[in-house]
Amino acid sequence: MVDDSPGALEAAIAGQVPFGTELYVERGGRPLLVKKQVVLTGDRLTDAQPGFDNQTHEPAVHLSLDSAGSRIFKEITRENVGKRMAILLIEKGKGEVVTAPVIRTEIGGGRVQISGSMSTMEANDTALLLRSGSLAAPMEIIEERTIGPSLGADNIQKGFQSTMWGFAAIAVFMISYYMLFGLVSVICLAANLLFLVALLSLLQATLTLPGIAAIALALGMAIDANVLINERIREELRNGSTPQAAIHTGYERAFGTILDSNITTLIAGIALLVFGSGPIRGFAVVHCLGILTSLFSAVVVSRALINLIYGRRRKLESLSIGQIWKPGNSAKAAPAK
């Protein structure tokens, strides 16, 4: 409790501190004379959160006390209505006045509100100090760094740039190596990225640096499925199949390989999601969603586009899937260009 006895504060400032009291300085620089007898300790404080007064709508701090603390606080407030109670943060033998509010009425139930003449930032700081003061072990700050939001924004921007450059490099390679089928693969890759971002938006997930890394990995896995399909179609053409038969057989036989490889990777992603924490779980969520979208885009979207291009042509003589090479034979033997 604050000692408001007449002349006590003046005597303490003059150097004659009354017995059983201590002189502190509030944050505003005003002296404060506090009695040494402790009413409640931080062990009785269960929570402290910033908020607003329901009546005046001014910033406030809401405290929660345990059952024993509630009984003690109810008795103290009943006996000291109109007086001030100081909340001190004592660490390593040094005390600091967090706040010294006036007791307006008897407070029971373990719910305490501190309000009046404080800003929202001050309410947040007061709640933080109260929570730290309720810790059983003392806090020792070894190093403190303040990182501005520009650093995180710069890292996210670089992550997006790396993903875009990787997408562009994949697109150039696929189109130059597989020609029209490569262009279809690039369109499927863009659709996969669109599906993945749409799912993340639907789940209201926060995109972090591990999430961006998972997106880049999902792009590589999605294009791997298209490479398997294209190479399977090339193999069927080398074996002498007609273009339409090569497309049908290529998709049918490549699907099993794509499914097996994605299931094994999905198992690893689920393990990261279950046993991981923090950024690892964020990576695992995007990784698992990327596997599902890559399966859909590589098989369904790709097959739909190929059928749209070649499905209407009955007399199909060649496929634009790049050069078909066969050992011992020339490229002319294959029905491709």
- pLDDT tens for 27-45 read 777 888 888 888 888 778 8
pLDDT band for 68, please (50, 70, 90 cuts): confident
Task: Out of 35-44, 130-139, 194-203, 217-226, pick the least confident.
Answer: 130-139
* Percentage, residues of the chain above pLDDT 70: 87
pLDDT value, residue 149 = 60
Cβ contacts of residue 254 below 8 Å, gap of 6+?
225, 228, 229, 232
- 216 vs 137 pLDDT, higher one: 216
Q: Please name the residue that has the structure tokens 């139930």.
A: 109
CATH 1.20.1640.10, domain 152-333, yes or no:
yes
- Do 38-133 and 152-333 show the same overall fold? no
| d(C-alpha 188, C-alpha 302), whole Å | 6
* Residue appearing with tokens 């792009």: 219
CATH 3.30.1360.200, domain 38-133, yes or no:
yes
Euclidean distance between CA atoms 219 and 60, whole angstroms: 49
Residue 242 has pLDDT above 60, yes or no: yes
In the chain, what are the domain boundaries? 38-133, 152-333
Residue 262 pLDDT exceeds 80: yes
Amino acid in the structure at residue 277: S
pLDDT of residue 334: 44
